Amino acid sequence: MENRIKDIPKKEKERDELKNKHLYSLEQKSFRWGYGEWIEEPDYVIFTYKDIKCEIFRNVSGYLCGYCSLPKNHPWLNEDYWEIECNVHGELTFKKHEKIGFDCAHSYDIIPSTEEILKESETKLRNQYKGILPDISPLSVRTYKNMEYLKNECKNLANQIIESQINQKENYGQQNKT
């Protein structure tokens, strides 16, 4: 996944042109991942929310990842992603330089590249163990996290970035008063 992120153009002008982009054709998506709402969604979206740069990127397995850039002098810049306390889908799973992020490839997420395989496996197991397996499938509780969901999660993360920075400034001010 990191290699794909490196491929994203570095210049702001180029990034502005990539606000909504398909990285894979409809044929590629259909062949790789089968049919789902991911077919028509863009694969790369960039937007700014409250002065925080947000990016959403679809990786080669078809699931989406969300990223937010940390402002200069932010307290999280000095922490590893697993040390950062924030509430985002599946917890933070990425930090590189000033960018932190999360992915939607957890056990409760639908991952497009594995969906057909899981359905086939479950069907085989149900046929083999008729009457033994419960009626409710563990696959039925999984959901696909779509572009709209990721936009909201990126905004949620951006709000927490801002809140953390405000708290740091307030704590610094209180320390100087004592």
Q: In DSSP terms, which residues pair with 56 in a beta bridge? A: 45, 66
Q: Against a cut of 0.85, is the pTM above it?
A: no
Asked whether residue 55 carries a pLDDT value surpassing 80, the answer given is: yes
Q: Is 171 exposed, middle or buried (0-12, 13-18, 19+ CB in 10 A)?
A: exposed
Nearest to 43 by CA among 13, 52, 51, 32: 32
How far is CA 171 from its chain centroid?
31
Mean pLDDT score of the chain: 82
Q: Tell me the HSE value of 167 on the side-chain side, using a 13 A CA sphere.
A: 8
Please tell me the least confidently modeled range out of 16-30, 77-91, 153-167. Answer: 16-30
pLDDT tens readout for residues 87-122: 999 999 999 999 999 999 998 899 998 877 777 777
pLDDT at 134: 60
C-alpha dihedral (14, 20, 23, 27), degrees to nearest 10:
-150
Percent of the chain with pLDDT over 90: 55
pLDDT at 139: 52
Q: For the packed helices 112-128 and 26-33, what is the interaxial angle rounded to 10 degrees?
A: 30
Q: C-alpha distances in angstroms, 128 versus 117, 118, 124, 174?
A: 17, 15, 6, 66
Element spanning 49, H or E:
strand 44-49
pLDDT at 150: 97
CB distance 61 to 112 below 8 Å: yes
Q: Could you tell me which residue, 119 or 55, shows the higher pLDDT?
A: 55
